[in-house]
Each structure stands twice: as structure tokens, then as C-alpha cells.
Structure 1
Amino acid sequence: EPMKRAVGIKNATFNELFFQGHFPGNPVMPGVLLTEAIAQVGGIALLYPEENRGLTPMFTGIDKVRFRHPVKPGDQVRMEVDIVKIKGKMGKVEGRAYVGDKL
């Protein structure tokens, strides 16, 4: 049976390079990096079936992105991705990122 869901963890440490300039005095993980992390978890889920191994997942689009809470140094981010559809070599996923119970 194909994988339906994948979960990834990112520990946002104080020494991350992106925290140094985003933003000085108020370090926040850039939304584009959070989006990429979710996309990578989705790519792993899509590559799980044996027939997809060896393929290169490509990020082709994004809908309805919202950032509700900042990710700060010391936070642990949990990315949850659900596979919505797989058709041939294309797949669609929905993802969320949490710090604790905050979306």
C-alpha cells in the first residue's frame, strides 16, 4: 500500500545561518525555508513506492500558503504531509508545520 502521510522534524538551532540576518534582533525562520522543508517531506512520501524510487521529485506549484506563527531559534518544527493524489509520475500533497500544537 502506498504511503499516505509523512512526518518530518526540524530542530531550529540558534546557530542556523538564516537566523543571523532574518531579522536582526528578532530572529525568525524564513517562510520560504519552512515551505521547502514541507516540500522535501512531501517528496520523500511520494518517492516511497518502489516504482518511484530513483525519480527526482520536483516542486511545481503551491496554493494557499499561510504563516500563522513564527519559528524561532530553539523551536522544534513538525512537518506533516498528506498525499492527496498520485497520477502517473505526478503527485499532489497537502502539508502543515507545527511548533508544539501551534499551526
Structure 2
Amino acid sequence: MVKNAFIIEPSLLDFDRPIADIEEIRKLNPQRHEMEQLTAILREDLESHSCAAYKQITDEEFWVRGHMPGMPLMPGVMMLEAVAQLSSYYTQKHDLLGAAMVGFGGVDEVRFRGVVVPGDRLVVMVRLEKARRGRMIVARFQGVVGENLVLEGCLRGIPIPIEAVTQQLTSGSK
């Protein structure tokens, strides 16, 4: 990736006309309540396999009180969760893995380049680099506030074996 090149040019994003709101996101992503890290999907480009979404950061986020008192900074893991949720949304919408659920498989080359605070609009973007049906997706990602790159790296998504997890939960074994 060219340094400082955006996956999707931020000026092309129309926050007044999202292509999917929270209800549409919920049809494909299982996260609810405080774990929902996307506000709306803004753009998809099927040719480049890229998409963008945003999370409006408010004073009501569960982490504001404790991370850190008097200086609320969005935890990096929550930024990564937003990226994972966007990757999952795109993967499920286009049935790229053939799985009932997509999980976080890992991240590489992650760099945090700025802070995200209440009042900010965190835009997350992903571009699919590889999809191996039934195995894994690999996507480059970025997080942007305004015109500033605050996050970048590479994410791996994997199919979640729902039946095995359900069996493990009902059997009581950990």
C-alpha cells in the first residue's frame, strides 16, 4: 500500500446517504449493545473489494469512564473490533467464506497513528486481498478521523464453527 494513500478517498464518503444503517448491519453481524462498533456502512466497491463504514464516538461509550479518567481515548482493541465488524459485514453480505459466522482470526502490521476521542467520527475502511472459501479472508484496513490516518494494518477473518461453540457452551467445558 502506498504510504498515506487511502483505501477509499474520504471525500467520496457521503454520511448523509449511508448504504446500510444499524438495522441492516444487524442482519449480518451478531454483535449487540455496547459491542456494536459500526454506526453505518457508507460505501462498497465490488471491483476493488473495498468498503467503508463509520462509528460515531459519543460520551456514552462503555470505555469512556475508565479509559482513561479525564482523558477518554478509544482503546485500540475497540478500533480493531470496528474493523473486524466491517470485514465481517462485507464477507457475509457477499458470502465469501460460506460460513454462518465470521470471527477475528488475527491482525498483522497494526499501527496506531493517532487518537480517537468522544465527538470524533471514526471511519474504517477495508480492502479484501484474499478470500479462501471455508478457510480465511485477508483484508488491509485503515481508520481515519477527518483526513487523518489513525489506524492501519492487515486483518484475517475465519469461519466460526457455531455448532462446536454451542456444544462447548452447553456441555459446560471451557
Instruction: Provide the identity percentage.
Output: 32
Structure 1 residues without counterparts, runs of 5 or longer: none
Quick one: distance in 1 between partners of 2:99 and 2:113? 35
Aligned match of 1:100:
146
Q: CA deviation at 1:48?
A: 2.1
Q: 2:63: which partner in 1?
A: 18
| Number of aligned positions between the proteins | 103
Matched, 1:9 2:92: no
Task: Output the amino acid matched with 1:28.
Answer: L
Q: Which has the larger radius of gyration?
A: 2
Tell me which of 70, 76, 89 is aligned to 1:31: 76
Name the SS for the 2:144 alignment partner: strand
Structure 2: runs of 5+ lacking an equivalent: 1-45, 150-174
Q: Which runs of 4+ in 1 moved over 4 A?
A: 50-54
Instruction: Provide the rounded CA distance (Å) in 2 between the counterparts of 1:49 and 1:37.
Output: 19
Change (3 A) 1:53 1:87: closer
Q: Provide the C-alpha distance between the structure 2 equivalents of 1:87 and 1:97, rounded to a whole number of angstroms.
A: 25
User: 1:92/1:51 Cα in 2 relative to 1: closer, same or farther (>3 Å)?
Assistant: closer
Contact 1:86 1:92 in 2 (8 A): yes
CA-atom RMSD in angstroms: 1.9
